[in-house]
Homo-oligomer: A and B are copies of this chain.
């Protein structure tokens, strides 16, 4: 970026934004600049409409009959295919169910069962912690298995992959820095050593285009309540490449994954394809809100989404670095577009207090210990003018030292 745009130029960018009309679909609290869609995406009118129908009509009136008449029984797979389209998965490879943590557990077991002569799981010390915790849980149930961590056993994950590695569990976009990995290259590297890869797409799905099939990914998991806007704690998704389907086994072998769930057989027999990742009864109301959120995505062009995402983060980085240069912020993300997700982080010794001051002034981002301020940019409902406003408020907080009052207020509230 050569010269920074002024507010008039920024408003012109909004006026020319091809995704501009999307903002009308969402429920945006008055006066808020919400830069936390990477933690909990905002509600939409479509999600509320579906939720209302699910509650009042399907549960309230049709009751048990809705398992068939409202398609409840098929939802994990029908919604799975719709999420799959957004992450480059052809139909029949993606299911929506359970939580990201539990889907990691299933995928890790499935991958290790496909590589019975290998004992090593590779993961990242810098991943969202539940990925490591679930890998530790899998290791606890597989005698001889162990974990190698990027950031502990070697600086780069590529250096940990060898012929002993069964599976690499890796985040596509780092939850903290927003750094984006090259999916095709790392998958190929793992495959060269005979290892499989599970991609964690929590901070990717709905934020940028992904091509799981094209990258020859083996498994993927991810979250639907961040950029996909499915609602708080909406069920997660799990992907398994079709070439593995015949050989997949995983120990969370509940009724919904059975080949004949209504035959009430006395032994488990895994269903076909991605169905064998299903386990127990899913939270229908939460699934139906997600269905509404996905209706919006049917109209979104992912290339345009990515272009706007990069436009928003480019602008945020440039404005912060110009206007807040004097206040000791340390840029934690990547300047290279191809290495950047849809979020930007800055470190500061008083990151926690500054974020509290931002939130008190209607700019909502996230603090991540020990010293990161994380700002997520959701292209569907954010405007370039919102970026401008967020930086204006950040600059004011830093210039006036208002975060020191925030710190006091927060500490008072805790004691």
Contacts and interface: CB of A to CB of B under 8 A. Distances in A.
Contacts of A264: 129, 368-369
Interface in A98-113: 98-102, 105, 109
Contact of A40 (B54, B63, B136, B140): B63
Interface residues of A, number: 86
Given A101-B254, A235-B283, A286-B286, A51 B55 contact: yes
A186 interface: no
Interface stretch (A141-149, A304-312, A340-348, A399-407): A141-149
B59 A43 contact: yes
Count identical subunits in the complex. Answer: 2
A262 interface: yes
Contacts of A281: 99-101, 223, 225, 233
B129 A266 contact: yes
A140 B286 contact: no
A236 B287 CA distance: 16
A265 to B, nearest CB: 6
B142 A99 contact: no
A98 B98 contact: yes
Interface in A131-187: 132-134, 136-138, 140-143, 149, 152
A285 interface: yes
Given A36-B64, A60-B43, A140 B284 contact: no
B48 A63 contact: no
B132 A263 contact: no
A15 interface: no
A359 B99 CA distance: 35
A71 interface: no
Most chain B beta carbons < 10 A, residue from A225, A232, A282: A232
Interface string A244-264: 000001011111101000111
A267 interface: yes
A192 to B, nearest CB: 28
Interface in A330-372: 359, 364, 366, 368-369
A328 interface: no
B63 A133 contact: no
Contact of A283 (B39, B129, B233, B258): B233
A34 B266 CA distance: 29
B72 A279 contact: no
B262 A369 contact: yes
B231 A369 contact: no
Interface of A: 27, 29, 32, 34, 36, 39-40, 42-43, 47-48, 51, 54-56, 58-66, 72, 98-102, 105, 109, 125, 128-130, 132-134, 136-138, 140-143, 149, 152, 223, 225, 231-236, 249, 251-256, 258, 262-268, 279-287, 289, 359, 364, 366, 368-369
Cβ-closest 4 pairs across A and B: A99-B280, A101-B280, A101-B254, A283-B286
Given A51-B51, A101-B281, A149-B266, 19 more contacts: A29-B61, A42-B63, A47-B55, A48-B55, A48-B56, A54-B232, A63-B364, A72-B233, A100-B280, A101-B255, A130-B255, A133-B255, A138-B251, A140-B253, A233-B282, A233-B283, A262-B369, A284-B286, A285-B285
30 contacts: A36-B63, A36-B64, A40-B63, A43-B60, A48-B56, A58-B232, A59-B232, A65-B359, A65-B364, A66-B232, A98-B99, A100-B281, A101-B254, A101-B280, A130-B255, A132-B267, A133-B254, A137-B253, A140-B249, A140-B251, A140-B253, A141-B141, A149-B266, A231-B285, A233-B281, A233-B284, A233-B285, A283-B283, A284-B286, A285-B286
